[in-house]
């Protein structure tokens, strides 16, 4: 699934490890999400959206 | 499970390191305990439990099985609490492939052995084959 996680993360100047710590997953999980190899669960998607202060639809797009 | 505050004063990278340490601790402690048990068994039997000469005493076998099951349960509980959903998915895929490898190889080996095409294969060898398939799949899913 296409997503804007990397774009939002880099805009804040965070490393993958920094984001991983903030959403309580491993750095590998952040990398897998950013590269589209892992689609996060609804719970994790909500956590990511809240962290970036936006909605899930603004970050994840299953039709791109 | 309570999640940490994403805007906590502790830097994310530090929290990621603490989290990683939790995962390693969950994996290493039961692993070290298992090695200690197997070493003690080896000293007591004069060889590996699977290749030791002579018959194993039933009481010893039962106690050994309970200890191994207990360590496995504690380890699985700790590990499950420490991992994230991406690793959980990698483990599920690893286990699925390991299961199919075990079932398929058992059926093939049994049939070929019954037809006397091949010599009987040790169940430990087949378990190791399934384990190897499981580990390779897990690593590929986790770190690709």
SS (H, E, C) B30-70: HHHHHHHHHHHHHHHHCCCCCCCCCCCCHHHHHHHHHHHHH
Residue B2 pLDDT > 70 = no
Rg (chain A; Cα; Å): 10
Domain spans in chain A, listed from the N-terminal domain onward: 2-58
Tell me if B84 sits within 8 A of A24, measured CB to CB: yes
Query: Å from B23 to nearest chain A CA?
Result: 10
Q: Give B52's pLDDT tier (boundaries 50, 70, 90).
A: low
What is this model's ipTM?
Answer: 0.84
Residue A40 pLDDT > 70 = yes
Interface of A with B in 22-51 (CB under 8 A): 22-29, 32-33, 37-38, 40-41, 44, 47, 50-51
Is B16 in contact with A51 (Cβ distance < 8 A)? no
Sort out which chain B residues have CB atoms less than 8 A from A17's CB and list them. Answer: 12-13, 16-17
Question: Does the beta carbon of B9 lie under 8 angstroms from any beta carbon of chain A?
Answer: no
Structure tokens at B73: 């349960």
Write a three-state SS string for chain A. CEECHHHHHHHCCCCHHHHHHHHCCCHHHHHHHHCCCCCCCHHHHHHHHHHCCCCHHHHEECCC
Q: Which of A18, A29, A50 is facing B84, going by the closest CB pair? A: A29
CB atoms inside a 10 Å sphere around CB B1: 4
Question: Does the beta carbon of B86 lie under 8 angstroms from any beta carbon of chain A?
Answer: yes
d(CA A33, CA B3): 19
Sort out which chain B residues have CB atoms less than 8 A from A21's CB and list them. Answer: 10-19
Query: A2-58 in CATH: which number?
Result: 1.10.260.40
B97-129 confidence digits (pLDDT tens): 999 999 999 999 999 999 999 999 988 899 999
Sort out which chain B residues have CB atoms less than 8 A from A40's CB and list them. Answer: 85
d(CA B81, CA B118): 44
B21-50 confidence digits (pLDDT tens): 888 888 787 778 778 877 877 777 766 666
b/e burial code for range B26-47 (CB count within 10 A of at least 16 → b): beeebeebeeeeeeebeeebee
Q: ∠ at Cα B99 (B98, B105), nearest 5°? A: 85
Is A26 in contact with B19 (Cβ distance < 8 A)? yes
Sort out which chain A residues have CB atoms less than 8 A from B83's CB and list them. Answer: 26
Q: Give B76's pLDDT tier (boundaries 50, 70, 90).
A: confident
């Amino acid at each position: 699934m296409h997503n804007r996680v990397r774009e939002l993360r880099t805009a804040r100047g965070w490393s993958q490890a920094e984001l991983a710590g903030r959403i309580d997953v491993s750095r590998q999980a952040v990398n897998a999400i950013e590269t589209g190899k892992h689609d996060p669960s609804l719970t994790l998607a909500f956590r990511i959206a809240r962290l970036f202060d936006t909605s899930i639809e603004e970050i994840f797009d299953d039709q791109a | 499970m309570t999640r940490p505050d994403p805007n906590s004063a502790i830097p994310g990278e530090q929290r990621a390191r603490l989290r990683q340490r939790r995962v390693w601790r969950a994996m290493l402690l039961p692993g070290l305990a298992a090695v200690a048990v197997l070493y003690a068994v080896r000293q007591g039997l004069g060889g590996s439990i699977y290749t030791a000469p002579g018959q194993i005493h039933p009481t010893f076998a039962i106690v050994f099985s309970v200890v191994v099951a207990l360590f496995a349960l504690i380890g699985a509980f700790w590990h499950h609490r420490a991992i994230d959903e991406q690793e959980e998915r990698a483990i599920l895929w690893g286990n699925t492939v390991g299961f199919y490898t075990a079932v398929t190889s058992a059926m093939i080996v049994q049939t070929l052995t019954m037809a006397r095409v091949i010599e009987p294969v040790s169940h430990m060898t087949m378990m190791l084959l399934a384990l190897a398939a499981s580990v390779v799949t897990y690593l590929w899913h986790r770190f690709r």
